[in-house]
A = this chain, B = another copy of it.
Amino acid sequence: MEYDKYAHEPFAVTADLAVLTILDGVLHVLLVERGQEPYQGHWALPGGFVQPDESAETAARRELAEETGLSDVSGLHLEQLRTYSEPDRDPRMRVVTVAFTALLPHPPEPHGGSDAAQARWVPYDTAGPLAFDHDRILADAHERVGAQLEHTCLATAFCPPEFTLGELQQVYETVWGTALDRPNFRRKVLATPGFVEPVPGAARLTGGRGKPATLYRAGAATTLRPPLLRPTSEGRPA
């Protein structure tokens, strides 16, 4: 790195977030409506400028707290996705964006955020054309999360502290968009030590219609060996 080259051009650096959650069995993403040009009135991923004293991670967590109104975002899953730096991705100036993915269990109502724009949970499939290159960022986030489900215990990040195996399976089915065989999924999950552990208490009391399910907690494991691969569905180009 050559330092005397500096002052060539300053970059603005932002941290943008693809905040995903599952509402009523449908994958949702948190979007904000832009209150100003460019792309005024368009929907975009929440985010903001990285401040002088914070890292991109810190900025992302701060923005996440502001946009969702969550009081405690310290335990939430936040992961760097990748950085987008094409010169023309912003019509106004040179902006480099470090994108993050965040996974929420049962999300709160986003209360407009601290900024003028309003925030809303939007079904992933109907997240129309977004501002800037946010369509691509969102697609990258979806693909990344889908891939992570195969190799990590990340799925529990979509679930509340205590959950049933049915709910965990729904996470996989929702993100992957495929149906899974229930007994096989159960066998696989329980055979992975540290993925989930049963809650000593009793079964679920919620207004479910069928047999009550036992509740589980996230275990200590983070990686899935062997992985839980999504159905080949032959279509996936190798």
- Please give the residue numbers on chain A whose beta carbons come within 8 Å of chain B beta carbons, in ascending order: 1-6, 8-14, 16, 36, 44, 47-57, 80, 82-83, 85-87, 92-96, 98, 115, 132, 151, 193-194, 220-223, 225-227, 229, 232, 236, 238
Contact = CB atoms under 8 A, between A and B. Distances in A.
Number of copies: 2
A21 to B, nearest CB: 22
A92 B50 CA distance: 18
A143 to B, nearest CB: 12
Most buried by B among A57, A132, A238: A238
A74 to B, nearest CB: 18
Nearest to A193: B238
Give chain A's interface secondary structure class: loop
Contacts of A222: 238
A62 to B, nearest CB: 13
Contacts of A83: 56, 80, 82-83, 98
Contacts of A115: 2
Contacts of A95: 1
Given A1-B47, A2-B48, A87 B53 contact: yes
Contacts of A3: 36, 92-93
